[in-house]
C-alpha cells in the first residue's frame, strides 16, 4: 500500500526518502514502503501492523478509503474493527517459497482473514499475489496459488464473479498502477491482464441505506480541539449533519456534532457509507468508549444482555456445548459472553430446523443459539450492548464469536429476549 500511495501521488518524495533513510538506520530497509502506513514507533520497531491505519486515494473512476488491517493473529480484534468498516477486500499474498503455505495452512492467518471478511459482510475481493519477483516471476507459482485459493474463496462465501486475482511486485512497483519498464518485462511474457488499479476501478459501490436512522459505531476516540472530543467511525445508515444531537449508547448521554470530517475535508453533512471523524461538544468524555454507538435520541438502538442469534460454526476441533464461554465481537466492541442455550441446528441454506435443543453443535453446522453477556469479573454484572436484528440493519446485526484466540463462529442477531427489550424500550421512550 505504501508503494501504491506513492505511485498515485498520495506520498510525496520527501516522505518516501525519509522513510527509506530512517528504516535503513533502524536495520529494516525492506520495510520502508510499509512505513507509509505503519506510523507508530512500536509498529516500526516490531515490523508489523498493529492498529488500523486509514488513508485515501483517487483513481480515474473511484475515490477509495484504505483501512490497512493488521495480519498478525495477536491483533485480530483490530482487524475485525477495520473489516467491519469495509465494503471490499484487498488480500495481499506473499508468493515467496514457503510464505504462502504458512499463511494458508491450517491455523494460518490467510484463512482466518478471508472467513472474517466474508462474515462481516465483505462480498468483493481482489487477491494481489505479491513478491513474484522473489520467485523469478514464475507463472506456475502464480497459477498454483490461484488454484489453491479459488475453492477456499468459494467455500468462504465469495462469488467467483466478485473475485479477481492480479500478480504484482510491490517493491518494484510492477503492475500496481502500471506495468511497464525493465522490471515488468518478465511478467509481461505471460500476463496481459489488468493492473491492480484497473481492478480497483471496477469495484462496485454497494447500495446505501440513507433513509434509515443514523448508526455510527465508534472505532476510535481522541481529544479534539478546545474542550470537545472527536470520534472516528463508519456511518452505517442514515445521514448526519453538523449541529445534530446524537445519543451515545450504552448510557444516557447525548452530544452535539460540532464538525464532520470526511476524507480530510470538513463537510456540513455525511451519508451512509462514509468513514468519518466527528467533533463532539456538550459531552462528558467518560461516557464515550470504543464500541459505543451514536444514534438519534428519538430512534435509539435497542440494548441487550441476552439475545438469540443464528450462527455458522467454522472448522473447530472442540464442539460447542451449552454454557461455553466465548468472546463476542460486534464492530469495535468485544465482550465476554456465554452460549447459554443451544436452541436448534439448522439447514445451512434454507434455515429449516433439523433438531431442537441439541446437546452439542459441531464444525461446519448452522445453529440457533441464545447468547448471554457476562461481566468482566465475578462481581460486576454484564453491561448491555447496542444491537439490532439483522433484518432491520444488516451491519448492526452481524456478530463474530471467538474462543481461545480462534474465530469459531459468525452469524447474525435474530431478536432480543422480549422482557428485556420491552423494559429497555420503555426506558428509552
- At 407 the pLDDT is 87
* pLDDT above 90: percentage of residues in the chain: 46
Least confident of 51-65, 141-155, 408-422: 408-422
Shared domain check, 314 and 287: no
Instruction: Judge whether 96 lies within some domain.
Output: yes
pLDDT digits (tens, 9 = 90+) for 261-287: 998 889 999 999 998 999 999 888 888
DSSP 19-37: HHHHHHHTT-GGGTTGGGT
Strand partners, 306: 372
Residue 425 has pLDDT above 60, yes or no: no
The Cα–Cα gap between 223 and 221 comes to 7
Whether the CB-CB separation of 263 and 245 falls below 8 Å is answered with no
The Cα–Cα gap between 179 and 170 comes to 11
Last residue of a domain, one of 295, 325, 347: 295
Provide the domain count of the chain. 3
Last residue of a domain, one of 201, 233, 262: 201
The Cα–Cα gap between 345 and 364 comes to 11
Assessment of whether the complete model's pTM goes beyond 0.85: no
Shared domain check, 147 and 260: no
pLDDT digits (tens, 9 = 90+) for 17-67: 877 777 777 666 666 667 666 655 655 565 555 556 778 888 888 888 888
- At 152 the pLDDT is 92
- Please name which of 380, 370, 377, 387 lies closest in space to residue 291, comparing C-alpha atoms: 387
Peptide linkage before 191 cis (omega within 30 of 0): no
Shared domain check, 182 and 307: no
Amino acid at each position: 500500500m505504501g508503494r501504491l500511495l506513492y505511485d498515485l501521488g498520495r506520498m510525496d518524495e520527501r516522505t518516501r526518502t525519509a522513510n527509506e533513510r530512517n528504516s535503513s538506520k533502524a536495520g529494516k530497509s525492506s520495510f520502508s514502503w510499509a512505513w507509509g502506513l505503519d506510523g507508530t514507533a512500536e509498529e516500526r520497531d516490531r515490523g508489523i501492523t498493529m492498529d488500523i491505519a486509514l488513508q485515501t486515494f483517487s483513481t480515474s473512476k473511484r475515490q477509495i478509503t484504505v483501512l490497512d488491517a493488521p495480519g498478525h493473529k495477536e491483533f485480530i480484534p483490530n482487524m475485525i474493527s477495520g473489516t467491519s468498516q469495509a465494503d471490499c477486500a484487498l488480500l495481499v499474498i506473499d508468493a515467496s517459497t514457503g510464505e504462502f503455505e504458512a499463511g494458508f495452512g491450517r491455523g494460518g492467518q490467510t484463512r482466518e482473514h478471508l472467513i472474517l471478511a466474508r462474515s462481516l459482510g465483505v462480498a468483493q475481493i481482489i487477491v494481489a499475489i505479491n513478491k513474484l519477483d522473489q520467485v523469478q516471476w514464475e507463472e506456475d507459482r502464480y497459477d498454483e496459488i490461484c488454484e489453491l485459493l479459488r475453492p477456499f474463496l468459494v467455500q468462504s462465501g465469495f462469488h467467483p464473479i466478485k473475485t479477481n486475482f492480479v500478480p504484482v511486485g510491490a517493491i518494484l512497483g510492477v503492475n500496481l498502477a502500471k506495468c511497464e519498464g525493465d522490471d515488468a518485462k518478465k511478467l509481461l511474457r505471460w500476463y496481459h491482464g489488468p493492473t491492480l488499479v484497473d481492478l480497483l476501478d471496477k469495484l462496485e459501490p454497494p447500495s446505501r441505506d440513507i433513509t434509515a436512522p443514523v448508526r455510527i459505531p465508534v472505532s476510535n476516540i481522541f481529544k479534539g480541539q478546545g474542550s470537545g472530543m472527536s470520534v472516528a467511525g463508519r456511518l452505517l445508515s442514515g445521514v448526519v449533519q453538523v449541529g445534530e444531537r446524537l445519543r451515545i449508547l450504552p448510557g444516557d448521554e447525548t452530544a452535539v456534532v460540532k464538525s464532520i470530517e470526511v476524507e480530510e475535508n470538513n463537510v456540513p453533512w455525511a451519508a451512509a457509507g462514509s468513514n468519518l471523524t466527528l467533533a463532539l461538544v456538550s459531552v462528558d468524555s467518560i461516557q464515550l468508549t470504543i464500541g459505543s454507538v451514536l444514534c438519534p435520541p428519538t430512534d435509539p438502538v435497542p440494548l441487550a444482555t441476552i439475545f438469540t442469534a443464528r450462527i455458522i460454526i467454522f472448522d473447530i476441533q472442540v464442539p460447542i456445548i451449552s454454557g461455553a464461554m466465548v468472546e463476542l465481537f460486534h464492530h469495535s466492541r468485544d465482550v465476554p459472553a456465554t452460549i447459554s442455550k443451544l436452541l436448534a441446528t439448522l439447514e445451512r441454506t434454507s434455515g429449516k430446523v433439523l433438531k431442537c435443543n441439541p446437546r452439542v453443535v459441531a464444525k461446519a453446522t448452522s445453529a440457533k443459539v441464545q447468547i448471554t453477556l457476562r461481566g468482566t469479573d465475578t462481581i460486576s454484572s454484564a453491561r448491555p450492548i447496542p444491537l439490532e436484528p439483522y433484518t432491520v440493519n444488516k451491519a448492526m446485526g452481524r456478530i463474530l464469536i471467538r474462543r481461545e484466540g480462534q474465530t469459531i463462529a459468525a452469524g447474525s442477531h435474530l431478536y432480543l429476549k422480549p422482557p428485556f427489550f420491552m423494559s429497555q424500550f420503555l426506558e428509552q421512550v
